[in-house]
Structure 1
Amino acid sequence: MEGARTHNLREVSVRLPKHRLTVFTGVSGSGKSSLAFDTVAAEAERLVTGAFPAFVRNRLPQHPAADVDRVDGLVFTTTVDQRRFTGNARSTVGTASDTAPLLRLLFSRIGRPGAGFSPAYSFNDPAGMCPGCEGLGTVDDIDLGRLLDRSRSLHGGAVDFPAFAPGTYRWKRLVHSGIVDPGVPLAELPEDALDTLLHARDLPLTSPGPAYPGHGRFDGVLPRLRDSYLRRTPTRLTREERLALERVVTRRTCPECEGTRLHAAARASLVRGRSIADWSALPVRDLREVAAAVDDPSVAPLLRALRERLDALEAVGLGHLSLSRGSSTLSGGEAQRVRLVRHLGSALSDACYVLDEPSTGLHPHDVHRLLGLLAGLRDAHNTVLVVEHDPVFVLGADHVVELGPGSGAEGGRVCFEGPPTALDGSGTATARALNTPIRFRQHLRTPHGSVAITGARRHNLRGVDVHVPLGVLTAVSGVAGSGKSTLVAEELPHRHPEFHVVGQGPLHGGVRSTPATVLGVAEPLRRAFGRASGLALSWFSANGRGACPQCGGKGVIVTDLAFLDDVRTTCEACGGTRFAPTALTATLHGHTIADVLAMPPAQAAAVLDQAPDAQRRLRWMERVGLGHMAIGRGLDTLSGGERQRLLLARHLAAAGDPGNLRLVLDEPTAGLHGQDVERFLGLCDELVDGGATVVVVEHDLRVIARADHVIDVGPGAGEDGGRIVYAGAPAGLPSVTASVTGRYLPAPRSAEARR
C-alpha cells in the first residue's frame, strides 16, 4: 500500500504480510482504524462488490474508492467490529453464533418424543414458536388506563401517545373513520363504538369521512400500536415514543411457555432428560459438559460440530453466557466475540479478517486464549489484522504497525513497522508502555468512611456483603461474567443512589447528535456565530434553517436497503459539512461553523474566546482522553469507550466541585493505549485528591495496581462467580490463590504487601 490519506493518515505506505497476524497499535486517535478498516477493509469490500453483476451491486452497500495512491494484493476481507447487535427481540446468543441451528437439528434427530423437523424446535418458526407469545417469551400489553384520557375527545388528544397526537397521520385515521364523534369525550361514547375504535382490525367502514383513504379499511388503536411497536422493534424511536412506550406498555413472562418461547411439543421433547429450552438456558461452560455426555453414533458429526462451537464460545470468554441470552443485551466486545465464533473453524482460506480491539471487556486470563484462537485462524492460511492496545496481542503478533506519534493531526504516520521483538529499542509510545512495569501504589490514601452492600443476590451474586470505601480509588476486578458490574454498576447505585454510573451504553440522540450537543457547547457556538454575522441562530443549526437542503443536515445520504445495512454516502451538495450555503458564508475569527465543528476541543475552545463556560466544557473533553476528536463528529461513529468518556466529561463539567462526586466507571480504559491509561489514572488521582469517590470496574492490571482498594469478584464466571474473593490493598491480591486476577499481577515487595 502506498500513499494512504484516509482521515488523518499522512501518505502512509506499508507492506502487510499475508498469512500472518498483524497488530495495528498506537495512541487513541493515531489512525489505526483509518488504516485497517477505512482503507484496507473498505477497499477490499469495494473491489469484491464490484465483481458482482449490476443487479446484485445495486443491492449491496456502496463504498467510494479509498484515498490511497496504490493498494494491491487484496483478498476477500471480512470485518468483525464492536457494533452492538440491533434490538431484534428474536436474536439470541444461539442464533447470532449459529449454534442454535445445530441444537435444533440435534433434537429433531434424537429428541424423544420427537416434535418434528428442526423448524419445530425454533421459536422463530411458526411450527415451533409458542402461540401465546409468538416466540418472544414475554407478553406485552397496553395499559388502557395510561393510554387513554377518557375525559377528553379525539379532538382534545384523548389517546395519549405521540403517534396519535392531534394532527398526526394516525390521529386523522381515527377522526375521519366515522366510527365515533371526534368532539365527544371518550367517557360519553357508546361502549360498542369505543370498543370498535380501540380493538377493530381490518374493519370495512360504512360511512368514513371524505378525507379517509379510499380502501375504507380500519384498524383500531390497539392493533396499530401492537403492530408498529410490540410485534416488531422499530429501528428508530423518538425520545417521546420511547418514554410513552415505557409508560403505557406492560411486560410479563409468557404464562403459556414460561419464557422458553417454544411450543408445547418442543418443550416436551427431551435429550438426556432435558428439553431444548433447558439446554439453551444453561451457561455455555455447563452446556459443553452436557453435550459431551451424549454418545449417539447416528449424530456424531453433528455433536462434534456443536462441541466445537461451544468450545469456541468458552475460549473467547463467553462461557458464562447462555444460548438463550438476548443478543441485544451484549456489550460491544461480547457482540464482537460472538461474531468471531462464526468464523472460527470456517473452511475458507486465503481470506483476511479485520478485528477492532477484540480484547475489550476481557480479563487477561481470556486474552491469552483469544490470541490462540486468532493464531489458529491465521494457521488456516488466512491473514488476520487486529487493531489492539493489549500488550499480550502486541507481543504475540507476527507483525506490528504502530501509528502516531500523537493523535488527530499529530498522528497518521507509521512510527514502527516490523516484528514485536524489534519494538524494544524503537522508543515509540507502545515501546515505552511495554517497558514500563506494573507498579503498586506506594502510598495508599485513607478513606473517610464507607458504604455497605449486604445480602446482594442480583443475577449471579451469592448473598454478597462488602464495604466500598469513600474518598479513594477502588478497582473492582474479576473475570468476565463474574458479577463485577452487577455489584457496583447495578447494586451499589440501587442501594446508594448518590453514586452515578457512567457506562458504555448508547447515547440517546439522533443522527445529528455530536459531542458538541452532548456537552452543551452547540448553543454557545451558535450564539457566537450569530453575534459575528447578524444571522438568526437557527442558521447555525443542522437541525434548523442552516441544514443542507439536500441531506437534511445529516451530512450523508442514507439509502435503506431493507434486509441489508443502510448505505451511507457523503452528501455531494454540502460535502458532508451538513450546512446550507448561507450558513457557510458566515465566519468567526476566519472560521465557518463547519470548520469549528471539525476542530478538536482545544482548537475549538480557542475560537470560543467569549464563551468561558463552553471553553471549560471542552477542556473536560480533552482531559478525559478525547482531545483528538472533532467536536462535530457523529455520535453513531463513537466506540463504547469513547461514548463513556464523553459522558464522563459531561458529568464532570456539570458537577463543578469534584468533592461531592461519587462515580462508578464501567471499564473506562476500554480502547485506551497504555499512554492514555496513564493519563486517565492521572485524572482519577486528581478527582480523588479533590474529595471524590471513584469506583472502576476494570481488567487493566495497571489500573488495578494503582488503586487504593481492590474488590476481586469471582472466582469464576456465571454460576462459578458472584462471591467476594478478596477486598483490600491491591498488593495483597497476588497472594490470594483463588483470585484469577492475582495470578497476572507481579509479586509485590514485602513492604508494599504490608501496606
Structure 2
Amino acid sequence: MGTVTEIYTYLRLLFSRYGLPTIGDSTLFSFNSPEGACENCKGLGEKLVIDENSIFNWDKSITQGGIRHSEFRSGSRRTNIIIASNLFDVHKPLKDFSRQDLDKLLYSGRLVMSDKTQGFIQKYSFEGVVTGIMRRRADRRGLSSSTLGRDNKFFKLEHCDVCQGSRLNKRARAVLINNKNIVELVNMELDDLYEFFKDIKHPLAQPIVAKMTEMIESLKEIGLGYLSLSRSVRTLSGGESQRVKMARQLGCDLIEMLYILDEPTIGLHPRDINQMITLLMKIRDKGNSVLVVEHDSEVIKAADCVIDIGPLAGEKGGKVMFIGKPNDLKQNKESLTGRYLSNKRHSGKRPSRFKLGEEAHPESSNVDSGVVATLFPRITTEVLNITNASTNNLKNISVDIPTGVLTCITGVAGSGKSSLIFDCFLEQHPQAVVIDQSPIGAMNRGNPATYTGVFDRIRKTFSHATGKNIGLFSFNSIGACEKCQGLGFREIDMHFLSSVTLICSECEGRRYKKEVLGYLYQGKSIADVLEMTISEAVKFFSDDEIVRRLGILKSVGLDYLELGQSLDTLSGGEAQRVKLASELHKKGNIYVLDEPTTGLHMADIERL
C-alpha cells in the first residue's frame, strides 16, 4: 500500500530529514535498496522454509518413497545415493527418525562419499534434500517454470526472523520520530497514522507531513482508513484495489483529463458504491471528464448523461437505445435498462420466495415450472467448518457454512470476505470447485464448446452421420487447416511494431481443411455449427446430451455467444459464466463463486 500510494516515499523522506539519529538520505529506509534492506531476507520480509508435512510421507520409509519430491521417488538416482551413503536407516518410517537425522536428511551440506565395492562408482556426493533444491534455485541460468512449480509446492513462506517481516535492516529500524520507528508507522491503520502526524509541528517536517495527510485523507474519505501502509497490494480485495487507484487521482493536479473506468463498482458493498460515486464526482468537479462503463443502478442514476446500448446482447445488440439524463431514461419504453430503473420490467407476478419448511405451490406462482423448481426450500443437515480464521482482517473467527443450500458471503469491501473464503475455507476444504474470473484454458484455441466439453459430443455426432474419422472434425487435429494450424488466422511479426493478425487466406477463418467442410450434418458443416449462437445450436441439435449442455450455457445468460467464439474475446463475467456452465452438470460439488454478477446487466442478474 505504501509504495502504490507513494505515501511511503514521503515517509522515508521524513525519517531521513527529521528522524533521530540521523543516518543519511531516504534510500537508507528503502527495502528495495541494498543500503536499507534486511541482509537476511534481502528486503522481502519473508523466507522460504520447507514444509515437512508436504515433502514427507511420515508413515513410509525412504525406500518406500517417503520423500514425496519426484527426484526422490523409489529407485531414483537421488534415493539410491541416500541408500548408498549409509547415513540413515532407509527402511525405518520417517516418523521414527530423530530430529538430528531429519535435519541431516534435509539440510546436510555436500559430502563426498567413497564406495570401494567392485563395479560401482568410486566417489559420489550426498547433500540434503533442501540444500540441493536451494542450490538449484540459486543457479544464475534459471529454472524452467515446471521445475520451479514442482519445487515450490514443498515450501511455505514465513516472516523473516531477523527483521520480523519489516524488510528493513537494524540501522533503519533504529531511527525514531516521537518514539516510533518507520516500521511501527507503516503497520498503523491509516486512521491512527493520520492522528500521529497531527502532533508533528516542526517546520522541517511540516511540508512533508502536509502532503502525506492530504493523501491519507483521500483514502479515508473512500472508506479505506482501516488499511495500513504495510498491507500487501496482492491481499487487497477487488473493491479496495479499485478505490486505491482512484484515490491517487484525487491528489493529481492535472485538469481537463479524460478518465475511462470499467465497472468501478465491482466488488463493492452498497455503502462503498456511494463512496465511489462521491469520488467520481470529485474527479469530475476538478475539471475532468469521467466515462464509466457500468451496470449498477446507483451509478447510472448519479450520472449527468447516460448512453444506453442494446436492446439485447450479441447480434441483437449494438444499437444506441438512448442518450440523455437518467430520469428521461426511465421513461424510455424501448430500453431494458430504463424499465429496470423504473421497476417496470415484470409483465406478470414476480415469483415469491418460500420460507424454510413452508409448502410451495407451483400452480399458484404464475411462473414456469423450471423457475419454480429453484424456489422450493432446501433443508440442510450438515455444515462445512472454517476454524480459527485469522488472515488479514479476520479476528480468529470460526464459521459453519450449511451444505446443500445457497449461502451468500457479504459485507463491506475489505471486511474479510475474500480472506475467509479464498484463504481459509479453500485451505480447509480443497475439494471445492472455484469459479472466478481468471483466464480460462488455451485462450486463442479454446471456445465455449470445447471448454464445456460439448464439442466432443458434437464431433461424435458428425462422425456417426458421415462415417468419417472423428479427428477430422477437430481444428486441433487432422482436420485442421494446414496453413494456420486450425487457428483461423495468422500472426505476422512486425519486428519493432506490434504483431498484425490476418484472417487465414487458405480456410478464410473457418479453421478446417476444405474437404472437411464438405461433410455435412443436417445440411451444416462443422464450421457452420461453430458459427451458430448457443441459442441457435439448442434448436439445431436433437441429441439430448448436447441440448442439455448447451441449455446450461443458455441458462446462465450466454445464449448470444457463438459456439466457436475464442475464449480470449470473452469479458471477465462471460468467462466466469462459461466456467459455471462447465461445472453445473456435475453433482455433489461445493461451488465457490467469486462475485458471479460481475459484468452483468440487471436483467442478466435476475436470470442468474
TM range (shorter): 0.7 to 0.9
Residues 549 and 580 in structure 1, CA contact (< 8 A), matched pair in contact too: no
**Does 1:445 pair with 2:356?**
yes
- Structure 1, residues 584-638: CA drift from partner, whole Å, max 9, x if none? 745655656555445432234445544x323322221221223333444444554
The equivalent residue for 1:408 is 314
Which of 152, 157, 180 aligns to 1:274? It is 180
Matched, 1:389 2:295: yes
Q: Using the alignment, how far apart are the partners of 2:344 and 2:174 within structure 1?
A: 57
2:584 to 646, 652, 663: 652
Q: Is the 8 A contact 1:493 1:501 kept in 2?
A: no
Aligned to 1:674: 602
Post-superposition offset of 1:117: 2.1
Residues 555/542 of structure 1: CA separation in 2 closer, same or farther (3 Å cut): farther
Q: Answer yes or no: is the 8 Å Cα contact 1:583–1:593 preserved in 2.
A: no
1:573 matched residue in structure 2: 504
Give 1:284 shift.
Answer: 3.6
1:112 aligns with 2:20: yes
Question: 1: distance between equivalents of 2:28 and 2:189?
Answer: 23
Q: CA RMSD in A?
A: 4.4
For residue 699 of structure 1, what is the aligned residue in structure 2?
Answer: none
Secondary structure at 1:436 match in 2: coil
Distance (Å, rounded) in 1 between the aligned partners of 2:488 and 2:592: 34
Contact 1:539–1:547 (Cα < 8 Å) also in 2: no
Whole-angstrom distance in 2 between the partners of 1:300 and 1:331:
33
Q: 1:140 to 1:454 in 2, by over 3 A?
A: closer
> Aligned-pair distance for 1:672?
1.8
Distance change >3 Å, CA 386–CA 222, structure 1 → 2: closer
Q: Report the TM-score when normalising by structure 1.
A: 0.60
- Structure 2 residue aligned with 1:399, among 305, 313, 336? 305
Shift of 1:426: 0.7
Q: Report the CA distance shift for 1:599/1:188 in structure 2 as closer, same or farther (over 3 A).
A: farther
Structure 1 residue 224 corresponds to structure 2 residue 107: no
Instruction: Say which of 390, 396, 412 aligns to 1:479.
Output: 412
Asked if the contact 1:516/1:522 (under 8 Å) is kept, the reply is yes
Structure 2 matches for 1:420-435, cutoff 5 A?
420-427=326-333, 428-435=335-342
Q: Give the whole-Å Cα distance in 2 for the aligned partners of 1:308 and 1:132.
A: 35
Q: Gaps (5+ residues) in structure 1?
A: 1-92, 159-178, 181-186, 202-219, 230-236, 681-755
Q: Is contact 2:47–2:158 with CA below 8 Å preserved after alignment?
A: yes
How far does the alpha carbon of each residue in 1:722-753 deviate from its partner, in whole angstroms, 9 at most, with x for none? Answer: xxxxxxxxxxxxxxxxxxxxxxxxxxxxxxxx
Counterpart AA for 1:357: E
Is structure 2 residue 533 aligned with structure 1 residue 600?
A: yes
1:34-66 per-residue CA deviation (whole Å, 9 max, x = no partner) reads xxxxxxxxxxxxxxxxxxxxxxxxxxxxxxxxx
Unaligned runs of 5+ in 2: 56-66, 83-111, 114-119, 358-377
Match of 2:102 in 1: none
Whole-angstrom CA distance in 1 between matches of 2:486 and 2:555: 33
1:676 alignment partner AA: D
Q: How do 1:322-721 residues align onto structure 2 when only pairs under 5 Å count?
A: 322-427=228-333, 428-436=335-343, 443-446=354-357, 448-449=379-380, 451=383, 453=385, 456-459=388-391, 460-462=393-395, 464=397, 468-469=401-402, 472-487=405-420, 491=424, 500=432, 502-504=434-436, 506-507=438-439, 509-511=441-443, 512-528=445-461, 532=466, 534=468, 537=471, 540-542=474-476, 546=480, 549=483, 553=487, 557=491, 567=498, 569-573=500-504, 577=509, 579=511, 581=513, 585=517, 588-589=520-521, 593=526, 595-610=528-543, 612-655=544-587, 660=588, 662-680=590-608
Match of 1:65 in 2: none
Report deviation, 1:320. 4.0
Distance 1:417 1:259, change over 3 A: same
User: Contact 1:526–1:541 at 8 Å: present in 2 too?
Assistant: no
CA contact (8 A) 2:386 2:424 kept: no
3-state DSSP class of the match of 2:165?
Answer: coil
Q: Which moved more, 1:135-144 or 1:256-265?
A: 135-144
Conserved 8 A contact 1:533-1:586: no
TM-score scaled by length of structure 2: 0.73
Aligned equivalents of 2:183, 2:565: Cα separation in 1: 44
Count of residues in Structure 1 that have an aligned counterpart in Structure 2? 527
Q: What SS does the corresponding residue of 1:506 show, helix, strand or coil?
A: coil
CA distance in 1, matches of 2:217, 2:423: 30
Map of 1:249-288 to 2, 5 A cutoff? 249-288=155-194
Give the secondary structure class of the aligned counterpart of 1:378. Answer: helix
Using the TM superposition, give the Cα deviation of residue 674 of structure 1 relative to its aligned residue in structure 2, in angstroms.
1.4
* Larger RCO (CA under 8 A, 6+ residues apart): 1
Please give the alpha-carbon distance, in whole angstroms, between the structure 2 residues aligned to 1:189 and 1:417: 85
CA distance in 1, matches of 2:181, 2:501: 51
Alignment-mate amino acid for residue 666 of structure 1: D
SS at 1:139's partner residue?
Answer: strand
One-letter code aligned to 1:673: H
C-alpha distance in 2 between matches for 1:583 and 1:275: 75
In the superposition, relative to structure 1, how do residues 621 and 275 fare at CA in structure 2: closer, same or farther (>3 Å)?
Answer: farther
| Counterpart amino acid of residue 121 in structure 1 | F
- CA gap of 1:120–1:625, structure 2 versus 1, over 3 A, is farther
* 1:97 paired residue number: 5
Q: 2:195 aligns to what?
A: 289
Post-superposition Cα deviations, 1:150-187, rounded to whole Å, max 9, x if no partner, equal 84349x9x9xxxxxxxxxxxxxxxxxxxx99xxxxxx9
Q: Secondary structure at the match of 1:672?
A: coil
* Contact 2:435/2:591 (<8 A) preserved: no
Check the 8 A contact 1:505/1:640 in 2, yes or no. Answer: yes
Give percent identity, aligned residues only.
Answer: 34
Matched residue, 1:149? 72
1:581 Cα deviation after fit: 5.0
- The structure that has the greater radius of gyration is 2
CA–CA distance in structure 2, aligned partners of residues 189 and 599 of structure 1 = 69
